[in-house]
A and B are shown apart, each in its own frame.
Chain A
Amino acid sequence: AQKITQTQPGMFVQEKEAVTLDCTYDTSDPSYGLFWYKQPSSGEMIFLIYQGSYDQQNATEGRYSLNFQKARKSANLVISASQLGDSAMYFCAMREAANTGNQFYFGTGTSLTVIP
């Protein structure tokens, strides 16, 4: 089974609107971390936000927030007030605490296009 599933290959959003990018995960480890990365067309991978499995609050970083629903095993990224510069690929990733090597499982990504 896939550890990380991103079911939306492509998404479009109007500038200044909010958008949610879906991510579901599969693990039996009670302790894990979830990460989102942004990859613009220039190619670099930029770390955006982290959520720990025991965190009581949803993570937020500026316009990025994580809608963490532990029972559903979902960790959706919410981008508020979309900007043209948000157009990029977005990857969800997970690390399990039992994995001593800090190895990440990455999803296949969602391509976001912000429309002016």
Chain B
Amino acid sequence: DAGVIQSPRHEVTEMGQEVTLRCKPISGHDYLFWYRQTMMRGLELLIYFNNNVPIDDSGMPEDRFSAKMPNASFSTLKIQPSEPRDSAVYFCASSLEGTGHNQPQHFGDGTRLSIL
């Protein structure tokens, strides 16, 4: 079975440019999560969706960040304009609804973003 697929794997761009990260969750999963990982702050939840609807975006750093999930098989995380402090690894994860608390989140391989 295909896992969570993220693209691109690596992105290097200049400050001020728009960056779009893409994610295809595991088919049938109800939840989709976007995380950011840095050495300083560890793994941070940015936003998550349930059945394509954004539920909690309180982790989004600022208005430069936006995320969409137009359908059950695709999500984007956009940064516009990008800044050097946005450099990090961005993970997408998906999970089933499950009963209570027993469903793991399955992660993509991440996008390593470098803003020069």
Contacts and interface: CB of A to CB of B under 8 A. Distances in A.
Interface of A: 31-33, 35, 37, 43-47, 50, 52-53, 91, 93, 95-97, 99, 101-104, 106, 108-109
20 contacts: A33-B102, A35-B104, A37-B107, A44-B107, A44-B109, A45-B91, A45-B93, A47-B105, A47-B107, A50-B102, A52-B101, A93-B105, A96-B101, A99-B101, A102-B50, A102-B103, A103-B56, A104-B45, A106-B42, A106-B43
Interface in B88-116: 89, 91, 93, 95, 97-98, 100-110, 112
Contacts of B56: 101, 103
Contacts of B110: 43-45
Contacts of A44: 107-110
